[in-house]
Structure 1
């Protein structure tokens, strides 16, 4: 993990590269704010579970596969910034298809957050910056 001079910005070596000029996370006091995290994999153009048409539009996607990938990417960022999954206190979820994907998301979320239950807000958005169906925005509270 590389940090800047102030040691407040974190860039994960395992999470996907940001699609813009922003860090994976930033620590302010005992809070760790994660930038939006999607299911892309570091160093790969193809999104897990996504098939694209020739024009780059989404032909089909495996939402469950994307969920697992998003949770793994969040874990990578937390760990490299010195936090744990259990430190999450707030999760904002962006879905591109609430009607079809929310039941799957809710089921998987319950599995991943069985012991730690952060606050959660789920909203539907028209689209996300890359051909993905889910993105998470997280806040963790760190001890010391």
Structure 2
């Protein structure tokens, strides 16, 4: 009995998902002011291997961005001032301020009986669910658990 040779269709390769480089004009049209430019590692000043990030604010906006979120010159100035101030403040000071604010808010005296009884049902142990405005579950009827970590 003669065997037939199987003819297989050659497999075709998928094209790469990488997009073709855009021209400067195309990039300018798609600029919405939120892009982040990153320098390559190891090419900083004095052989610094840390990655430096430069954030551009402002510039031309795309049609979709301006249609969904119109901004005025005043808003742009305020955003620029906020970003400059935040950058000057530095990460260490921002972390310190955050921790101080959080510590002060945790000291607040809020009735939290249900929160303390249901610690295993709380996603965040440091986000208190006060008893006064707590959402009480009423469904399904007759179910013994009425707790959900939610306030109104």
- Does the TM-score normalized on the shorter chain lie above 0.5? no
- Per the shorter chain, which TM-score range? under 0.3
Determine which structure has greater relative contact order: mean sequence separation of CA pairs < 8 Å that are 6+ residues apart, divided by chain length: 1
Greater C-alpha Rg = 2
Structure in which a larger fraction of residues adopt strand:
1
- When the two structures are superposed, what TM-score results if normalisation uses the length of structure 1? 0.22
Structure in which a larger fraction of residues adopt helix:
2
